[in-house]
Amino acid sequence: MPTNILMPALSPTMEKGNLTRWLKKEGDKIKSGDVIAEIETDKATMEYEAVDDGTLAQIVVPEGTKDVAVNSVIAVLAGEGEDVKAAASAAKSVPQAAPKPASAPAPKPGVGKPAPAVAPSGPIASSAEAPAQRGGNRIFSSPLARRLANEAGLDLTRVQGSGPHGRVIARDVEAAKSAKGLRAPGVVPAGGAIIGQTMSDAQVRLLYEEGSYELVPHDSMRRTIAQRLTASIQTIPHFYETMDCDIGRLTAAREEINATAPKNKDGKPAYKLSVNDFVIKALALALQRVPDTNVSWTELGMLKHKHSDIGVAVALPGGLITPIVRHAETKSLSAISNEMRDLAARARARKLKPQEYQGGTSSVSNLGMYGIKDFTAVINPPQSTLLAVGAGEERAVVRNGQLAVATIMSVTLSCDHRAVDGALGAELIREFKTLIENPVMMVV
């Protein structure tokens, strides 16, 4: 019996993946452990190893196919002694994964119906010739056209009718769903939809003139980021605490450490510390000092973590990823610096393994290099805290009643109120401030 090769689940949250490249071709002999394909997930491109020996009889899903569902058949393997042609013939009856659609499909009737862009001004009669009222404009339409427009969230005043006397009929509504046959935008209510309801794709497109935009389909990373962060902000009760930190001692220590760093064989410094390396270390130690904040919420109970595994947001084209420095509280600043340099490089090349970016007990998001003074960030589940770091800048401060200039860095702690209360979060950010302002405490 030929063996079906299935689309693997390369992470616990993976539902679909892109089959980037086949490294074997039909007719090739394969041994267990051979790398046969490259699979792109939302975060990384990973190698797919064969489990069984045999001959690659048929490639069902060609390379370059996007959004291939997990556990769908991507190829067929003929076992030792099996007829390869027979196995390939059997593969033809296996359904292939559907390619990624160029645009979102129109909403299905009765499922997640969006509200109409403008509410009717009065009851709609049942007569086939009854008019639909839209903001005082009298639009003749069929009952079916009105129902389809209502389900798609379309404003009938913008639909060009092709029926008798300009009457809007079903085919006009269907054409309008793809932004065809639309009149120029008129007055649109604030938000384009009823408050509290999300606008449908069709409603958004109707706000813009046809041909004035380009539809760029989302890749798997962008979709996953949207889903996870939407779920985070909707299900986690966030609150925020901000504190200013004087990093004058830190910057002086950093310059001295980097200036005296030993050289390797190539004559290059063995390490080069950044402010972010100090931030990672300080947060890791602060979590150890306030262990009740080093937790993850579950319905059955709180997970109290023994180590500080710190995720660090790394920007990628079209998204971001958060590689994790494990046991950061036990590592030296130079070790953290070199590890982060390696993780960031492999993250940008999409070569991270799932265990290198999944989990973690807290995270750091630093936008200081972009000149951002302060900001709030969305927690990355299942973590309970996230530290948003702004730029270090010279500011006027008062010391001993005298005006002075100091290098100040603002940080904002995002907390999951289910797991971390206000006073507890304040303890954590206070400990962070103590450590970051006295960097010598991080090396003893």
Give the residue from 390, 82, 13, 35 showing the smallest Cα distance to 223.
13
- 250 phi-psi bin (left φ>0, alpha ψ -120 to 50, beta other): alpha
Choosing from 165, 218, 238, 417, the catalytic residue is 417
Q: Are 200 and 194 in contact (CB under 8 A)?
A: no
- Count of residues making up the chain: 444
Alpha carbon separation from 357 to 235, 317, 346 (Å, rounded): 22, 17, 11
Cα–Cα distance between 182 and 56 in angstroms, integer? 51
Task: Please say if 417 is a catalytic residue.
Answer: yes
- 45 phi-psi bin (left φ>0, alpha ψ -120 to 50, beta other): beta
Cα–Cα distance between 395 and 398 in angstroms, integer? 10
Catalytic residues: 417
